[in-house]
Structure 1
Amino acid sequence: MSCITPEHHVSQYIRGYKLLANISWDSVDNIIIPVNVSESFHWILIVFRIRHRCLYVYDSMMGGVIHSKNVLDHVRSFSTMILMFLVATNFYEKRSDIDWHRKAAYIDKSLSEPLEYVILKDTPQ
């Protein structure tokens, strides 16, 4: 994690310094992330629900082995990358409203373990 520093652009976003709304991630429960799957010329939506420790993926173009693989590659990258930035920015120390040791989604999970993710099916277009 030596390349992840508090000065990194993503760290700045998480801490609320680069957002148009200037709201840091430690003051909200859900993070909405639009993701361009450039290989498919398509956008998906990832909603990170912090309390659930899960990325919920909305994809209106379900189907096709290649498309599904491209989406999964992006989601897996985010599930690892987001977690590394949260640890690097001391995110978990700032959320005193969540008891990390008792919250079901965090029990028996290392802070370095990738986030869970769910690909939601049958979402309306």
Structure 2
Amino acid sequence: MPTISKLYSMEEASQHNTKEDCWVVIDGKVYDLSSYMDEHPGGDDVIIASTGKDATDDFEDAGHSDDARELMNKFCIGELDTSSPVSGEQLADKFKRLTKQYWAVPVAVVSISVIVGFLYLRKK
């Protein structure tokens, strides 16, 4: 018989954001890491900072081992309900992360434009 996974909204997962009650969403799955907080090698503050958002990128960027990925199965309590609407706060958070991640592209474009403009004017 297939296991029926409980669905949680991002809003519901984000309400569990303390050391004693901490849920994280990674790859569409919801994990209750409350009992693991003291054992996490990166400290509990790293996990708490990832509550209330999709922490997949943070998890992948940290370079977790295969053992860590295997350990995650123990803490999985359900899946993220993707049918629920995205809140404005979640969109704003995603936009902030994207602008932090890709700030170099607009800066490079503006810099190159200024240099080309300066060289063009200098030749005249």
TM-score, normalised relative to structure 1 = 0.30
* Structure with a larger share of its residues in helix: 2
TM-score, normalised relative to structure 2 = 0.30
Larger Rg: 2
* Structure with a larger share of its residues in strand: 1
